[in-house]
Amino acid sequence: MATQRTLSIIKPDATRRNLTGAINQRFEEAGLAIVAQRRVRLTEEQARAFYAVHRERAFYDDLCAFMTSGPVVVQVLEGESAVEANRTIMGATNPANADPGTIRAAFGESVEANSVHGSDSAENAAIEIAFFFAETDIVG
């Protein structure tokens, strides 16, 4: 597998608890480089567009409200098989099911406030990275 990029978001529950550095340390210790990063407050419109694939789900409105409830850190992670590597580092979506040692097991509060988002495929990574970053923002 080659070097890949994936989109990561440190969610409002984590920024609220000042966990940005602790989470970034886990990415870096696992060999993923943070090649772009920006702290932003998502607008309702941005959150709804970013999570549009979930618009038919019962949790969509709550998810969008949560993602706009505080600052997030959007970032591009780069490394060997970065999409899959990041999913392993994050752990299962529901922190209750996440393996010990993963970010969501350590920090997640609930399935919604699960501290981090990561792209689920290389195809979606490209779409999600382009949602937040221009190619010139990414310095590998």
Q: Which residue is nearest to ligand CMP (CB)?
A: 117
CB-neighbour burial class of residue 52 (10 A; exposed 0-12, middle 13-18, buried 19+): exposed
Q: Which of 78, 62, 88, 80 lies closest to 135 in space, CA to CA?
A: 78
Instruction: Tell whether residue 59 is a contact of ligand CMP (CB under 6 A).
Output: yes
Catalytic residue among 73, 117, 128, 133: 117
Strand (E) positions, 11-133? 33-40, 72-80, 116-118
Q: Are strands 72-80 and 116-118 parallel, antiparallel or unpaired?
A: unpaired
Instruction: Tell whether residue 111 is a contact of ligand CMP (CB under 6 A).
Output: yes
Instruction: Tell whether residue 93 is a contact of ligand CMP (CB under 6 A).
Output: yes
Instruction: Tell whether residue 112 is a contact of ligand CMP (CB under 6 A).
Output: yes
The only residue of 117, 125, 128, 129 in contact with ligand CMP, by rule CB under 6 A:
117
Would you call 54 a catalytic residue per the annotation?
no
Instruction: Tell whether residue 6 is a contact of ligand CMP (CB under 6 A).
Output: no
Stretch that binds ligand CMP, among 20-28, 78-86, 110-118, 125-133 (CB under 6 A): 110-118
Instruction: Tell whether residue 104 is a contact of ligand CMP (CB under 6 A).
Output: no
Instruction: Tell whether residue 114 is a contact of ligand CMP (CB under 6 A).
Output: yes
For residue 57, give the 3-state DSSP assignment: coil
Q: Are strands 116-118 and 3-10 parallel, antiparallel or unpaired?
A: antiparallel
CA distance 37 to 132: 10
The site for ligand CMP (CB under 6 A) is made up of 54, 59, 63, 93, 111-112, 114, 117
Enumerate the active-site residues: 117
